[in-house]
Amino acid sequence: MKLVRWTRFTWDLAKLPAEGRVLDVHYHIRPVTREEEKTVRAVIWSSFALDMNWSDTLKTMKDWLEVRLDEVFEHKVVPCLVVTHGSRIIGASPLDPDPEAECHLVSGPCMLNEYRNRGIGTELLFQSLQALRETGFERARAITKGNVPVAKFVYTKFNSVSEPWEFEPVLARS
């Protein structure tokens, strides 16, 4: 079994900027509808499956992430944002609404491969953090592998603090 070095990022939401960046008029970030669950799951799985940095861990993470997504879609108001390009969902960011959760950004901002490196994922992160702040959160947390692009280029934004983290993807919440 390969050693995975996990990193936890924490944001003080009081320090979150008042506004994010302006996206191209073709892209919109909005709350998901319950009917879009299948599409959201497909976007998230495509995002992970096509990222070679996750290939060694994806099998281990699959069941954990499926359980987390099931929990997200069980809520009356689904805590998840999506990015659309026209009517197509191209990105998703499911959120854990439990203030005590170890990780509030369930999958992190996931973008389809062809839409990466355009700043859209960064704006999806900003809007996700803003949504958590608007529900009364003081801090938000995310856990990711330390060597993946999101840990190097996305999660470092908005005054985050990172630390090595012991993480074992387990199915049941304690």
* Tokens representing residue 16 in the block: 């979150």
Instruction: Indicate if the alpha-carbon torsion angle 143, 57, 62, 34 is positive or negative.
Output: positive
53 lies in some domain:
yes
Expressed as residue numbers, the domain containing 65 is 19-161
Confidence (pLDDT) at 168: 77
CATH number of the domain where residue 95 is located: 3.40.630.30
45 lies in some domain:
yes
7 lies in some domain:
no
Confidence (pLDDT) at 4: 85
* Tokens representing residue 18 in the block: 């008042």
30 lies in some domain:
yes
Number of domains present in the structure of the chain: 1
Confidence (pLDDT) at 171: 52
Contact 155, 125 (CB under 8 A): yes
Q: What pTM did the predictor assign?
A: 0.93
Using the CB atoms, write b or e for 111-138: b if 16+ within 10 Å: bbeebbeeebbbbbbbbbbbbbbeeebe
Using the CB atoms, write b or e for 157-173: b if 16+ within 10 Å: ebebeeeebebebeeee
- Residue carrying the six token digits 């919440």: 173
168 lies in some domain:
no
pLDDT averages per 10-residue partition of the chain, 174 residues:
85 93 93 97 96 88 93 95 98 96 96 95 97 96 93 95 85 47
119 lies in some domain:
yes
